Amino acid sequence: MFKKICFTISLSALGLHANAQNNSISQIFYPNITIKTEAMPSANMGDGKDFGLTRTSTLGFVPLSTDFNVGIGFGKKFDIQAKHTFLVANLSQINPTISGKETPSGGYKTLSAGVFQLKASLRDKFWLYGGGLGITESNETFFSPQPFLWGGAARVRILGLNTQIMYGTAVAFNQKFRIIPIFGFNKRINEDWRISGILPFQVTGTRKITEWFNLGGNIALGGYSAGFQEFGSGEKLARKENYQHVKFTVSANAHVLKVFNLSLEGGIVTFRQDKIFNSAVENLQTYHPGTAPYIGASVRYISNKNSMGAKLMSKLGI
């Protein structure tokens, strides 16, 4: 989940067109909700077992406030500031299967929320700050939670109308503390082609077919980290699972009726790894599921009736 939050920070700062869903900077200025479903059929994971995975998620953006300030700062320098604060919330259901059996029973649920602030000023340029928390655990119990915390800051530099870069740092606690440097880029090659990326998480190429339809290619790192209980020798043992993969896909995105964005995505997942840990975070088992096909579909509803977002977008010329 933390990878998604880092991507949200980066997306917000650059206004990238990435992921299967056609993201845009308007997503952070208007209330919107995205429902997505993903499926990865079973593939051999060793020991005579097969590993499969499905995921359904709901992602919402809610603007909280928009402020403009004009005044004299330190050193008696004139400054203009614009601040936009928004909430991001995610609810996911993850269902891994081993040899056709759902493991753990009922799968996992993830719930997270974070608050982000975009800040633009004459003196400090363009920054984004954010932080939040979440939890992932199996649906069969409430006694094996896997909590996670995150925070980060990113600086955006505008190198021209067609080129922007971003650099920053994200920090997270998810079984262990991590510091993750982030570098982003957004390059418009010509009127129809654009390439963008958030390293180390994702790179995307997009071709605009019409004003309402585009095609894209995507390479992305994904996965999950969760807690569950294992029954053995008449007792319940706390376990933690870390799964990750690299996804190579192509996507088709259509913007219809002004407020809906529909997306279909297909490709493969590979370089897969699934690890099981005990409560002391000692590695018990490591699996490498084989390459498998991937298919995803999503629909987003974007409200265009948010006065705060309309005001800020007008002022910034977006």
What's the CA gap between 256 and 250, in Å, rounded? 20
Q: What is the pLDDT of residue 17?
A: 37
Amino acid in the structure at residue 27: Q
What's the CA gap between 174 and 121, in Å, rounded? 34
Amino acid in the structure at residue 274: D
Q: How many domains does the chain have?
A: 1
Q: What is the pLDDT of residue 282?
A: 87
131 closest CA partner among 93, 165, 86: 86
Q: What is the pLDDT of residue 128?
A: 85
What's the CA gap between 88 and 28, in Å, rounded? 9
Q: What is the pLDDT of residue 304?
A: 65
Q: What residues form DSSP beta bridges with 69?
A: 81
Residues 284, 278: contact at Cβ < 8 Å?
A: yes
Express each pLDDT in 292-308 by its tens digit.
999 999 999 988 655 55
Burial of residue 181 (CB within 10 Å: 0-12, 13-18, 19+) is: exposed
Q: What is the pLDDT of residue 165?
A: 87
Cα 69 from chain centre: 31
Task: Show the domain range for 82.
Answer: 2-316
Express each pLDDT in 55-76 by its tens digit.
999 999 998 988 877 766 555 5
184-190: long-range contacts, CB 8 A cutoff, minimum separation 24: 184/10, 184/13, 184/14, 184/16, 184/154, 185/14, 186/14, 186/15, 186/16, 187/162, 187/163, 188/161, 188/162, 188/163, 189/162
The values of phi and psi at residue 165, to 5°, are -130, 160
179 closest CA partner among 6, 4, 1: 6
194: Cβ contacts below 8 Å, ≥ 6 apart: 17, 186, 187, 188, 205, 206, 208
User: What tens-digit pLDDT sequence spans the chain (318 residues)?
Assistant: 545 545 555 555 454 333 344 455 567 778 899 999 999 999 999 888 999 999 999 999 998 988 877 766 555 566 677 888 999 999 999 999 998 898 888 899 999 999 998 888 776 678 888 999 998 888 876 667 788 899 999 988 878 778 888 899 989 888 788 898 989 888 889 889 999 988 888 999 999 999 899 999 999 999 988 888 887 666 788 888 999 999 999 999 999 888 899 999 999 999 999 999 888 888 999 999 999 999 999 999 988 655 555 555 454 444
Burial of residue 171 (CB within 10 Å: 0-12, 13-18, 19+) is: middle
- Is pTM beyond 0.85 here? no
Q: What is the pLDDT of residue 15?
A: 44
Q: What is the pLDDT of residue 65?
A: 85
Amino acid in the structure at residue 160: G
What is the secondary structure of 282-303 as a DSSP string? -EEEEE-PPPEEEEEEEEEEE-
Q: Return the structure tokens found at 274.
A: 């699934």
Q: Return the structure tokens found at 224.
A: 């999950």
